[in-house]
Amino acid sequence: MSKDTPTALVKYLDAESGMEALAEGSLPWIAPHLFNDPFENSVKTPLGFDASALQRALIHAISTMIFAFDEPSGPKNNPIKRAVRRWRAEDRFHTEEEVESALLEVVPSMTAQRFVSAIAYMGQWQSFARDVRVLSLNEVHDLIHCWELLADEHRGLAIKFQCGDGAMVSEPRRVRYRPNRLAVTSLKEQIEILVGDREEEEEGGGDFYDRLLVRPKHQAALKEWRCFKPSPTSRIDRSSYGDTPYQPDVAVNPNALTRTTFHREEVIAIYLGACMSEVNRNKVLQVIRDRMEHVKVFQAVPRDTEFELEFKRIDSAD
């Protein structure tokens, strides 16, 4: 386990889901599309551009390099960069219209080949996204946003799990919060590949997991980590993710949710929400008495003068 990996992470749940998790000793791992987040990359993520858009973007990129103040930087062996340097030396073009007219004869074949590669890449992504299952957890138990959003507005509970080899939470990866999305692939990326400013990702899609580890900057307070595993019918362990073509209207895997068991010894503590009903509180405590007597239980209580929670140890027999 990496020194940067936490020793414990927390799963926030509504009361019903929390009782089910504790009673069954399992948690649901879901396919990315079940996050129901329009900004989350999933099997439903579209390519986002067509061949004509790629062609227009390449012409614009070449024109920009031709009329830029400085010569284009980057690899000298890139055919587009070589042509641009030659045209600049010859002072061949004087307007963008001249560039477009000349390039319309050669650009279509270049972009057609690149578009085929982009389609193949999206096919690999769809195979991956259909098969991968995700478990989301959070760093600590006292995150107000998590209690509001993930634990039914403080009516649910939070379970702290130990992390490590052999545990259910064995290789968590930290979510990064940024102002911009990390697309599966983008028009900008494809142009950068064409002009030699970016290496084409290796067959198999490189690290597709990265596409599931970037979320909006304003959600940074959630301090999320994610674990990944293949579905029971997965092809993720193959050297190449994709052997099926990209489908714009792909059908999702009906088995998009998989429950994974954990040992009760992996549960370090359980935290009850400040607004949990007395009925649910008693039910949760009964489950703990029946299955997890060793676990420490805490009750969330709002602080008197701060918008924070404190957690008071309680006896599960109470």
pLDDT tens-digit readout, 155-170: 999 999 999 999 999 9
Would you give the end-to-end CA distance of the chain in angstroms? 38
Residue range 294-302: mean pLDDT, rounded? 95
In the predicted model, what is the mean pLDDT of residues 21-45? 94
DSSP strand pairing (173-174 vs 224-230): antiparallel
Reported as a pLDDT band with limits 50, 70 and 90, residue 71 is confident
Q: What is the pLDDT of residues 228-287, one digit of tens each?
A: 998 876 655 544 555 567 777 777 766 788 899 999 999 999 999 999 999 999 999 999
Report the alpha-carbon distance of residue 29 to residue 35 in Å, rounded.
Answer: 11
Q: What percent of the chain has pLDDT over 90?
A: 76
Check residue 115 and give its pLDDT: 95
Q: Which residues have a Cβ under 8 Å from the Cβ of 65 and sit 6 or more positions away?
A: 72, 81, 84, 195
> Quick one: pLDDT at residue 318?
62
Query: What is the number of helices (H) and of strands (E) in the chain?
Result: 8, 12
Averaged pLDDT score across all residues of the chain: 90
- Average pLDDT over every residue of 17-26: 96
Calculated CA dihedral for residues 182, 183, 188, 193, nearest 10 degrees: 100
Mutual angle of helices 96-103 and 51-67, in 10-degree steps: 130
Q: Give the pLDDT of residue 317.
A: 66
Which of 50-59, 77-86, 245-254 is least confident? 245-254
pTM over cut 0.85: yes
Half-sphere exposure of 238 (CA within 13 A, CB side): 15
Residue 202 pLDDT level (bands cut at 50, 70, 90): low
Tell me what the mean pLDDT of segment 23-45 comes to: 94
Q: Which pLDDT band holds residue 4 (cuts at 50, 70, 90)?
A: confident
Q: Which residue has the tokens 């899609």?
A: 205
Confidence category of residue 204, pLDDT binned at 50, 70, 90 = very low
Give me the residues paired with residue 173 across strands.
Answer: 226
Extents of the domains making up the chain: 8-43+133-184+198-314
Tokens of 20: 């089910």
Q: How far is CA 285 from CA 8, 105, 155, 214, in A?
A: 22, 74, 14, 36
